[in-house]
Amino acid sequence: MSKVKIQGHASGTGVLTVTAPNTSTDRTITLPDGTGTLLTTDGDGSSLTGTADATKLPLAGGTMTGNLLLETSGNPSITNKTTGSGNNPTFRLQADTHYWDFQGTFSNANDELMFMYDGSSKLTIDNDGIVDTQYKIKEHNGTRTHTERFFIGGNAATTWDITVPSEGGNGNSFLVHCSFNHYHNTGYGAHLSAWYSARTTSCSQVALLGSQSSVNGGSWSVSKPSSTTLRITKNAGSYSGQGAGFIQVTWSATV
């Protein structure tokens, strides 16, 4: 038979009292078959080992294998907070190797909210509510718009090929806006706003809203080298001075 031994401390002078509770029922306290320290109600558990509950996440992190439900009355909220003013808290949605990140980019001057796919930014909203997409094409209700921004010299010749649906035996129309200027007058710029209609490789200007060209800045032209390509061309001028510009083309995404 094993024995129970209560041993005092050789250097202590206090009295250790074991007190019974107010009960009329016999109780049995079974001691563990191991060496260690008992935890009292005023202890913090720092001296204990092997006490982790596999059903609970540790405070420092962990992986959940089931669904998470946040349900309460009123207005429930989830806060993902960083203690650093220039850090970027992120929520990630992932399937296998691909993922979307929703990131508060507080390391940037405008504290943007960024939507990223596999680490590449696709859409940004800054703290003034300005929305910017990193993709050149936007589509709304079957209408597609392609935009480009550039900075070139007036003597540069540049083309942009835009993929469009083949019209087949039908037709489609394109609203085209093009701009470039090195200076604040017409002597160094090139601008075009016009409607074009097309079928396969035939493309004609059907309504001119405005056009301006110059010897120094060049001019614009629109063509269809293939049934699925609309080409915007900045024709070269003679002056090398640089300037900013953009193109914007809108059309029906289906024919």
Its pTM stands at 0.62
| pLDDT tens digits, 6-41 | 888 888 888 888 888 899 998 888 878 878 777 776
- Buried b / exposed e over 36-56, threshold 16 CB at 10 Å, is eeeeeeeeeeeeeeeeeeeee
Domains delineated in the chain: 90-133 (no CATH), 137-252 (2.60.120)
Residue 19's pLDDT is what?
85
pLDDT in tens, 98-149: 999 999 999 999 999 999 999 999 899 999 998 888 777 888 899 999 999 9
- pLDDT tens column, 195-251: 999 999 999 999 999 999 999 999 999 999 999 999 999 999 999 999 999 999 999
Question: For the CA atoms of 117, 119, 124, 126, what is the dihedral angle to 10 degrees?
Answer: 150
Identify residue 173 by its one-letter amino acid code. Answer: S
